[in-house]
Every structure is written in structure tokens, then in C-alpha cells.
Amino acid sequence: MSTIRTAYRSAILHSIGDPDKVGMENSYEYFADGAMIIENGIVQAVGNADDILANESRDIDVKVYENKIITSGFIDTHVHYPQTGMIASYGEQLLDWLNNYTFPAEGKFDDPAHATKVAEIFLQELMSNGTTTALVFGTVHKESVDSFFTQAQLRNLRIICGKVMMDRNAPDFLTDTLDSCYEDSKELIERWHHKDRLHYAVTPRFAPTSTPEQLDVAARLLSEYPDLYMHTHLSENLKEIEWVKELFPERANYLDVYDHHGLLSERSVFAHGIHLCDSECQRLADTGSAVAFCPTSNLFLGSGLLDLPRLEKFGINVGMGTDVGAGTCFSLLSTMNEAYKVLQLQGQALSPFKSLYLATLGGAKALRLEDKVGNLAVGKEADFVVLDLAATPLLQFRMDNSTSLEETLFALMLMGDDRVVCETYVYGENRYSSL
């Protein structure tokens, strides 16, 4: 294989640790005039431009970005690709929203052509928003997951996805059986898990739509393929929690349903986790399970406010999720904006460096991918995004009045969206450009 070595010169910022654990100043690296060397999709060097480029041959290709900042690609730890076409459907509470919008939309995904069309739009939206890694819900149809993985592979994105398992409390056209969910999932696992940068997640939608027997099937798949992910929903809505109590009266709490069936592990990711009791938090921490913080959908559906510091006090890994289509946009910058407000409403603080951590390295740790992605450390896969600090006249004006890196980053998160993403690189290749 021929060697492709390229240098990128710009301001460079990336997260190297959790500010709450290592301190603010030790949580990031920033190079006002930085350079990064990429060779065959892998970061080879990053640092001050003069130092990095001094060690390179004069004929190396140097891509220079003026008034831009390079950071690592964003990581979305919970999003639904089949819900792309129903984003911004009139708000209702969770259970009504599922019945009125989600299930009808997902019913169309038995058609591979439709699934492919939506997958193409969805993946383009990820990249145009600077997202390079995502944990994604499919539908109950194996065709939808096949189509999605095919399109993700073409773009070389690091993607985790799975067929939804749902054998009750859903329309007939969206339910599977114990046999079909096992056989379809197994077929998809064999075809796609660890294919290039792809991974498979066993995906029961949530406890109310799976019988105990189906949850046992999910556990069986996880035991047969120990490095699979498990992806589901947990404690999003108060009525949902009451419903779980009615369906599983023998279980101590919502999380205990999943725990009883052997679905908690270091590769388990639970979306939301808003209304958890202390024992649930402790159990998540003990098993190494992660929570996806989805502020835009939690606000949109009126589900509640996640107490992020409480979860982290227990030692739970937390990533950021857009949760499209209840989530209102694909932008993790906009999601950081809403996360800040969620904590403000609870009298808590969320620093811009903590937000950056959650959307990058924190998300990678939640997905157990921090050895591959999450920042721009040497040896990591070269997923990065180029952000334009002058994307709009107002943003440029605000940046002209910024007096610190922290202020600049905060303004970028509060005012930024897809307009600030000028280029997205996936494994060292430019996959999106607005230039």
C-alpha cells in the first residue's frame, strides 16, 4: 500500500481527559498555530506547527486553514436513523409520540430502497455536522440494517448499529418473533460485525416492547458474541417507568429488568437515564454500563432534566446523543448548547471543556472506543472536523471580542451549528466540505 502523508495546519484543540477528574487545564491540548500529520488514516504527530513541520520533508502536502479550528470528530452515542424523515414532528409525550409518529415512519423500512435513501441522507447529515462515530438504532427489519451498514461502509465511518427487537406492544407490522429476531440478528452479526469500522449492537427497543423471553434471546446473542454492544432505552419518561412496573412487577426497578436478563456490561449503552434511583446508578457503575445524555429530545418531549453530575458521581460513563428524531438536530454543537441549559435549570455548571469532552473523548469512552477515536492523539484514527470561527457575521463579531480560549469555545458551542462545519475528515479522507 502506498503511503499517503499529509499535514494540516490550523489552530488545533482536542480533549485529553475529563475536566472533573484531571482539572480544567489538563483536560485539553491547544495549539494556536498547530499542525497534525496524517498517514494512511492514522494520526502520526500533533503539536506546534513549527516543531511538527520542521521534521517533515519540504515536499509534504500542507493544507492550511485560516481562522479555523481543528478538533476531533464528534461522537453521537444515541441516534435513530429511521427517524430522519420525522424530525420536528409536533411534540407530544414519549409514548404518544412513538405511536403517532415513530411506528408509522419505521413501518416503511421493510423496503430496502427506502432504507437506502434515508441512510444516505442520515449519513450525510452526520458528516455535515462533524459527526464521525455514532451508535445508531435501525428498525425491526433486517433489510433496514443491511442498507444502513452498506452505506456506512462506503463512507468508512465508525458506526455501531443493530436490528431492533420488538415482539409486543407495537403494531403488527413492526413486531418480530423469538425465532426471527434471533436468526435475523445472527445473520446481520455474521455479515457486519467488525467489517471495516462497523460494529453490531443487540438492540431491544425498550423493556415494554420486549417479552422476558425476547430479552433472554438478546442475552443469548451477547453470550455467543462477547464483544457485541447492547443498546436500548432506560428511564426516559415517568409514564414509561410506570408502564415498566406494570409489565414487570417482580423486578425492583426499570434497570433491574435488563439486569435480570443479563444485559448490563461494559459494552451496554442506555439512552436517557433521567429518572434513576441510587441503586440503579450504582448498578450501572458496577457493570461499566454507559448512559447517553440526550438533552434536545429530553426537552422536546418534556421527559425531564438529566442530573449529569449525579451520574458521574457514581462513576458512570456518559456520552452525548442527539436522539434524532425526537432530538431536534444532528449538530452536537447545538446539543452541547442544550446540555448547558439543562444543567443551568438545575443550578449546575457545564464548562465548554467538559462539553467538548462529552461530545468526543467521553463519548468514545462510553462506547469503549477510546483506543481508536475520541481525540487527535498519535496512533488514533484520523477522524476530525474543521470548524469555521467566522461562519456567520455574528459569530465572527463575537469571536473578535473573545479574550480567552474558554470564551471562544463557549461561544462556538452556544452559537455554532452545521454552518460552522466547513470540512469533515473520516479516517484521513475528506468526506464533507462546504468550502
Percent of the chain with pLDDT over 90: 92
| pLDDT at 290 > cutoff 70 | yes
Residue 63's SS3 state is strand
- Rounded mean pLDDT, 385-397: 97
Q: 2 or 29: which carries more pLDDT confidence? A: 29
- Rounded mean pLDDT, 396-410: 97
Sketch out the chain's domains with CATH numbers: 5-73+374-433 (2.30.40.10), 74-330 (3.20.20.140)
The full length of the chain comes to 435
SS (H, E, C) 388-424: ECCCCHHHHHHHHCCCCHHHHHHHHHHHCCHHHEEEE
| pLDDT at 3 > cutoff 80 | no
How far apart, in whole angstroms, are the C-alpha atoms of residue 248 and residue 254?
8
One-letter amino acid for residue 130 of the chain: G
- Of the candidates 153, 144, 201, which has an alpha carbon nearest to the alpha carbon of residue 369? 201
| pLDDT at 89 > cutoff 90 | no
CB of 70 closer than 8 Å to CB of 12: yes
- Of the candidates 324, 309, 207, 221, which has an alpha carbon nearest to the alpha carbon of residue 265? 221
- Rounded mean pLDDT, 111-130: 97
Q: How do residues 164-207 score in pLDDT, each as one tens digit? A: 999 999 999 999 999 999 999 999 999 999 999 999 999 999 99
Q: How do residues 318-331 score in pLDDT, each as one tens digit? A: 999 999 999 999 99
Enter the DSSP assignment of 98: I
Q: In this predicted structure, what is the pLDDT of residue 97?
A: 80
Cell numbers for 77, please give them: 452515542
Which band of pLDDT confidence, cut at 50, 70 and 90, is reported for residue 55?
Answer: confident
Q: How do residues 243-285 score in pLDDT, each as one tens digit? A: 999 999 999 999 999 999 999 999 999 999 999 999 999 999 9
Q: In this predicted structure, what is the pLDDT of residue 2?
A: 62
How far apart, in whole angstroms, are the C-alpha atoms of residue 55 and residue 165?
53
pTM: 0.97
Q: In this predicted structure, what is the pLDDT of residue 318?
A: 98
Q: Are strands 61-72 and 74-80 parallel, antiparallel or unpaired?
A: unpaired
**Residues 6 or more apart from 239 whose CB is under 8 A from it?**
93, 94, 95
